[in-house]
Amino acid sequence: MTTGVIPGGHNPEPRPTGERMPQQRHQPGQASPHVETRTGSSVITARAAATFEPLGRSVATARAFVRDTLQGWGFADVVDDAVVLTSELVTNAVVHAGTHADVLCLRTDDGVRIEVADRYPEREVPLQGSAVNMGSPDREGGRGLQLCAALAARWGVEYTSTHKNVWFQLDLPERPVGTRAAGPSLPADLLPLADGRVRVAVVQIDRKGSISAWNEDAEEIFGHSAAAVTGKPLTDLAAWPHTPGTGTGIAEALQLSRWEGSYGVRGADGRVTPVYASHLRVRDTGGEPSTVCLLVRDHERAVLQTPLRLPASDAGVTSDGQSSDPFEVFIGSPAPDDLDGLLQRTVERARDMLDGDSAFLLLATDDETELEVRASTGLPSARQRFARVPVEAGPGRYGSARMPAVHDDLAAVPGAVPLLTGTGMRSVVTVPLKVEGRLTGSLGVAAEAPGRYSNEEALRLQFAADRIALAVESARLGELERLRRGSLSFLVEASDLLAGTLDRDQTLALMAQMTVPTLATWCAVYTIADQASDPYLSYVLHEDEELIDGIKSLLAKVPPPDPVPTPGARVWTAPGEHAHQAALRSSMRSLGLTGGPTRQVSSGIGPTLATASAVGGETVVLPLVARNRVIGMLTLGKPTDEHFRQEILELAEDLSRRAALALDNARLYSERTAISQALQRSLLPPGTPHIEGMEVEVIYRAAGEGNEVGGDFYDVFPIADNAYGFAIGDVCGTGPNAAAVTGLARHALRLLAREGLSGPAVLERLNSAILDEGARSRFLTLLYGEMRPQEDGSAEMKVVCAGHPLPLRLRQDGTVEAAAEPQPLLGVIEDLELYEQTVTLDPGDVLLCVTDGVTERREGTRMLGDDGLADVLTTCTGLTAGAVAARIMRAVERFASDAPSDDMAILAMRVPGLQKD
């Protein structure tokens, strides 16, 4: 909404709005007999404009906008007519035409002009001279222009190609000079009491909400000098964050064109002075907006307060003497289409109907055992919203829920209405909301003075409650249906996210991020490692990242909640109490009350108070139970004086069950991964020994994510003095089963070779060991050999190739040849006749051993094969063993674009010689 005040000028061009008219064409230059065209000669002294969305609740918002604007201009005499006409025209725009409505208020010297424009130009004014039937007064639409003709001094309809505009002019009544409004004559004993003289504090606030002027009466009432408060925000002196008697905060009230209401101002002595204030927003000669506040002591409010509305008993009678629908009289027409808007309007109308200081409405839970605060006015709503109280009678219970009740003085019956405890309200009338005999809620109106209400007021309020109960229940059921659909969508998305990871830390983060800010303002997750361990604070999240460290520090000082397996949310008061105490100690230290220097603690006061405010509301704990064991707790919190809705707690309970299972799955996966990795590492050689006169390099890659060992294996180990064994093999298949045979083969080779057996004897015994595994056995290809470096710089190799790809020998001149002959593989037949072959490597020669994962590397129908491997090896002349192994691996990886699907092992052994230039 945008408003503005201009010093003078002429009317701007008209803007379109209005209602549907009979669909007849309008000739250019002609006008309907009952429509007057605007002359544009009036001088505009102020204007205010706003645009409203095509929603039912926009009608009420438009009425409030026009009422506040005209009251701010001092046009109280024409406010009611203007509001009625605006309501009808905006209803036509946003409800019937279904477009945005633009409302423009223009103040002139002799009255006010209001224009309502919509984006529905098809309906036009009938032709001149045509008989016009404006419709029956009982029809839903078509009454706006009738009312304009009846109430407005002048009115008109104008069109563009995209808009339609309806405007009306209301003239101010002629009054004697100096007369604006008058109240009835009162006896002297009924006039308000005042001190020796009535002091009116005049306070001016700039556009930022800071005090720019402070008169002598303000100094006298509150004790602050003008110099002490100039430049400070008025909200710093306000006693309450929200204004009693209205849902509008002080900061918001300062932005309105005109406002009246009660709040408190903290004086120089620290005491709060209740005041009644009248705010008027103006602009100075430089065009800078500011707000002038007139304040008197609250008991002198009659000095500033505008005349009261007509009694509610007259509201149901229209100007023509006909009674209207009681529901429309009480709630207004049209009713808001959302539950919160309906409830808020209900409490405001109930308060006005009984001239109360506050009102509240509570809705019953599904089992009717508790009532939940859903709307209030004149009460600290942020503290009370969603608070729950029991229904049945008893100490500290809401005993007047099921039938009308009047309490003359709550001070005489402490706790009779727990919601009003500590609010200063003395008398209250409450009535139930019932649908088909079932309790659905409770409506109450309270006053600061005792004895304000009688049975007559209770009956009036009960009559209104009966009119609204069905509409409230219908809106509540609609809200519950929307919440349930949203809850299902939320839980489905949460389940997908939680199922998408098996990482414990990521699962904790997801749990917190799904709850903040959707379900709570902050969240903490405690985990329990085992039954003997204490809960551990694992993760903390707040919607304001700057507060996370402070909450973490605070929770670290609070004993964790007990790991109770009972399902459901339970209130945990320890964080709020500890935060309150910590904030109190910090404040006392800042004031020097503990004897310590203020400078040493001032830096920590801000975060401590902010943390206390963040965790000072309701905190609940939900157990994380998986597989019949409590594995942690999910803690949800609200800021100061806020409560959780029952529907939110039920949704959080559903989420906690899913999160617990996901967290336990992540724990099991982490444990099994750690065990698997430990076992896999035990199957790998501890390291490659240093061999004097030889270069040895190994590259090993296991297929599959998270695998360190697969079906391929290698080993290089000392056998005796100057004798070393080497092996490279491939077990059928991959994964854990193949790795088990890998471990058997590698350990058996070392053990048998060190017994002094020859190569064939070692492999024959290994073959018997594999066959002894029975059904778990797998066939195995194996290249086994023994190397002995010679004194002349060469190396003697004795090799047995049992079904394995043949080793390749690279000579200094670049030729490549097979260094052994193929023999039967292991693990298939019992009687093997194996033999060993001797190969002598000259200085500079390389012996390359690989598994079939290298030679069978594929790209489509192409395969690297033995020939391809030999071609790559010919390019490695003069390279070290490490360089040879690295070049072979790069060639294998580049041969195909896909990731390798088989284990690969490369063993390169080289006799040092002359390096290639």
Q: Supply φ then ψ for residue 451, to 5 degrees.
A: 65, 25
pLDDT recorded at residue 287? 79
Residue/partner pairs of 157-162 with CB below 8 Å, 24 or more apart = 157/18, 157/21, 157/32, 157/35, 157/124, 157/125, 158/14, 158/16, 158/37, 158/38, 159/16, 159/26, 159/121, 159/124, 160/16, 160/121, 161/121, 162/16, 162/119, 162/121
- The pLDDT tens digits for 699-750 are 988 776 555 566 688 899 999 888 999 999 888 866 667 777 777 888 889 9
* DSSP strands (E only) in 493-572: 522-527, 536-542, 570-571
Detail the DSSP E strand segments found in 378-416. Answer: 388-390, 405-407
3 state DSSP class of 359: strand
d(CA 911, CA 878): 11
User: Cis omega before residue 517 (within 30°)?
Assistant: yes
Nearest-CA neighbor of 558 among 548, 572, 569, 546?
A: 572
User: According to the model, what pLDDT value does residue 322 have?
Assistant: 45
Instruction: Using alpha carbons, select from 529, 524, 519, 442 the residue that is nearest to residue 487.
Output: 519
Q: Name the phi and psi angles at 724, rounded to 5.
A: -135, 140
Residues of the chain with pLDDT under 70: 1-42, 121-144, 174-196, 240-249, 306-337, 366-368, 380-388, 390-402, 583, 586-609, 640-641, 680, 704-711, 733-736, 775-777, 914-917
* CB of 799 closer than 8 Å to CB of 846: no
| HSE-CB for 644 with a 13 A CA cutoff | 27
d(CA 290, CA 282) in angstroms, rounded, equals 6
pLDDT for 329 equals: 52
The per-residue pLDDT for 1 is 38
This prediction's pTM: 0.45
Count of CB atoms situated within 10 Å of the CB of 760? 18
Structure-block tokens of residue 789: 């470096």
Q: What are phi and psi of 819, to 5 degrees?
A: -100, 5
Note the helical H segments in 444-543. Answer: 455-499, 504-515
Question: Does residue 18 come out as left (phi exceeding 0), alpha (psi in the -120 to 50 range) or beta?
Answer: left
Smallest CA-to-CA distance from 289 within 360, 206, 355, 196 is with 206
Are the C-beta atoms of 740 and 719 separated by less than 8 Å? no
pLDDT in tens, 555-581: 888 888 888 888 888 888 888 787 777
- Do 75 and 169 form a contact (C-beta atoms < 8 A)? no
Question: Is 349 within 8 Å of 355 (Cβ atoms)?
Answer: no
Backbone angle region of 533, left / alpha / beta, with phi > 0 → left and psi within -120 to 50 → alpha: beta
Q: Measured between alpha carbons, how far is residue 640 from residues 385, 609, 611, 617, 649 in Å? A: 12, 11, 10, 4, 18
